[in-house]
Amino acid sequence: MARLLVLRTAPYHHSSLSAAATTALLFPSKHRHSASFPHPARRLLPSPLRVPVRAIESSSGATKQEEAPPAAGEAQEPLPAAPAFVMEELGWGTQLAVKLKMLVAPPWQRIRKGSVLTMKLRGEVTDQVKTRFSSGLSLPQICENFEKAAYDPRISGIYLHIEPLSCGWGKAEEIRRHIVDFKKSGKFVVGYMPVGGEKEYYLASACGELYAPPSAYVALYGLTIQQTFLRGVLEKVGVQPEIKRIGRYKSAGDQLSRKSMSNEVREMLAALLDNIYGNWLDTVSSIRGKEKEEIEEFINSGVYQVERLKEEGWITDLLYDDEIMAMLKERVGQNDKKSLRMVDYSKYSRVRKSTLGLEGGGELIAVIRASGSISRTRGRLSVGSSGIVAEQLIEKIRSVRESEKYKAVILRIDSPGGDALASDLMWREIRLLADSKPVIASMSDVAASGGYYMAMAAPVIVAEKLTLTGSIGVVTGKFILQKLYERIDFNKEILSKGRYAELNAADNRPLRPDEAELFEKSAQNAYASFRDKAAMSRSMSIDEMETVAQGRVWSGQDAASRGLVDSLGGFSQALAIAKQRANIPQDNKVRLVEISKASPSLPEILSGIGGSLLGVDRVMKGVLQDVTSLNGVQARMDGILFERLENASGENQLFVLIKEIINYFD
């Protein structure tokens, strides 16, 4: 969404995640809390940033440990690694109960024996649990379907259609991990990829078999990160941005004030790109049994013929979809002339885990999901599941805090930030929640700016290796429209009382020297407040935090080595730590209770039933949300640039920019 394109004439404050992905978090000094606020981590975990970091390598199932230097005289409490997935043998009583439940299951949960689960992994993948009326894919439901299918005696295997995905590498890693785990059930998992790039192949390579049609377009050319600059465009229309940067790596201001990439931002983006590409090479070389140099040489040779992928062992064979289904019919022993017995993602998502004996008694662990951009209240035009609404999430946090039935909480975050005040209010509530029971923050694709602000309230933070996080820095700016007004013969006169009354209102003239000084001091204060609160939350000194702040975006792997993240892994890793903190044995079953499961609103129902007919697409949903939540200080990631970082496409960036501007103001 084109969130940075709103030409707000009042001064605005952003903290920047990256030029490629971000606008970050800022909070004014009046919301700053005393450093004497007791952090629950100091009771549960003497120094959360210095505990041993354990990273789960999903490609091999092995556990790799990286240790951060301990503080002198501090006792260390190691974090547990997520247990490797092992198929449990169900007792005869459980098996009998499962058969009875299947026999009396409602029609929408009935599945014929010998069926193949088909899932089309393409487009947007949300971290929120979807309602039955919602369109699109849900990461928790995708992962749960893999788990259920592994135990379901009616499912013979899985057939995955993998096409271009609009998600980050964090979600891709989580899905890939579940593909690897599913194969341990002994059932087949077959992939079909007619179109795809590096991210799609990253998923597909985990399948036991991978096929593509002879006419497939598989573009394995390498990875890119792009940054766009609007300064030249703004100059041509008579708009002068006045930007104050606080932090060497901030980039949201660069997009408006520069015509080229700064050295600091280039350094930051190059490091992110190295992390992503290096992880891709490591994973693919491991699964294909080749040296990294061989993989890189193959990519650099410019592969455009899908036949070469077969010849070099990158895919199993070249087959059309109907040929694969005929092959699977034979494999599952279906000898009739009917089509392959299949159950799709949507229907299988309705099958309850309890039907398969996978969910029973045990302690309760609450799961609070926070996905999307952050706002304090819901706008009148917002759809039911669009973003994080602070007042609603705070209600859920308080209900969990006041309940004694939940033994621990997993706070699942997938957010580029948003309203700073809202982020601060949620930060406070999460810290109060952590006073009453263990809270583990689990990051998905991104938890930066306001997203990281929420996460740092938890005593323990878990991130994927390629989660985008950090972005502790601010940028403040104002648009001067004097030349634009002159060109269109527009006049604006202001009467004011008070020396700085026109600071927010006067867009028809440049700032006076005293106004510019106040402008910069305000940004400096905002940065110091953000940095100091982050230092307190992570039990770091101001100087230590300063070295990792400066508006820099880190990958989860780099953030872990610098004290911003405690452990590397996915949801299962967070669950293992939650059990440890709640004194629940790792081999004990627990019940996960989704606290923030959305109820469908009328716009969401209509969108799910006929999105294309009603014109309620993803861009318009974002526009409707943004238009109603632009009041106050914003701390959000740049939507256009974030999409380009996570889902680069061949579409010309200028055309994308123009298209989204038109969509926004249409």
Tell me which residues are annotated as active site.
449
Element at 233 (helix H, strand E): helix 231-237
Place of tokens 């928790």: 140
DSSP 489: T
| C-beta separation of 14 from 634 below 8 A | yes
Cα-Cα end-to-end distance for the chain:
14
DSSP of 513-564? HHHHHHHHHHHHHHHHHHHHHHHHHTT--HHHHHHH-TT-EEEHHHHHHTTS
User: Rounded CA gap, 549 and 567, in Å?
Assistant: 19
The encoded tokens of residue 225 equal 């990160």
Whole-angstrom CA distances from 75 to 52, 78, 478, 544, 560 are: 12, 10, 49, 20, 19
Whole-angstrom CA distances from 210 to 193, 213, 368 are: 8, 11, 36
CA angle 127, 443, 425 (to 5 degrees): 90
The encoded tokens of residue 492 equal 């604006």
**How far out from the chain centre does Cα 373 lie?**
11
- Beta strands at 240-246 and 63-66: parallel, antiparallel or unpaired: unpaired
User: Where does residue 411 rank: exposed (0-12), middle (13-18), buried (19+ CB within 10 A)?
Assistant: buried
E strand spans, 249-341: 317-318
User: Rounded CA gap, 25 and 419, in Å?
Assistant: 8
| C-beta separation of 260 from 227 below 8 A | no
Q: How many residues does the chain have?
A: 666
| Cα dihedral 381→383→386→390 (10° resolution) | 60
3-state secondary structure at position 268:
helix
Other CB atoms closer than 10 Å to residue 296's CB: what's the count?
15
The encoded tokens of residue 183 equal 């194969």
The pair phi, psi for residue 43, each rounded to 5°, is -100, -45
> Residues near 148 by Cβ (< 8 Å), separated by ≥ 6?
155, 348, 351, 353, 356, 358
Question: Which amino acid, one-letter code, is at 168?
Answer: G
| C-beta separation of 15 from 474 below 8 A | yes
The pair phi, psi for residue 553, each rounded to 5°, is -95, 135
| C-beta separation of 600 from 131 below 8 A | yes
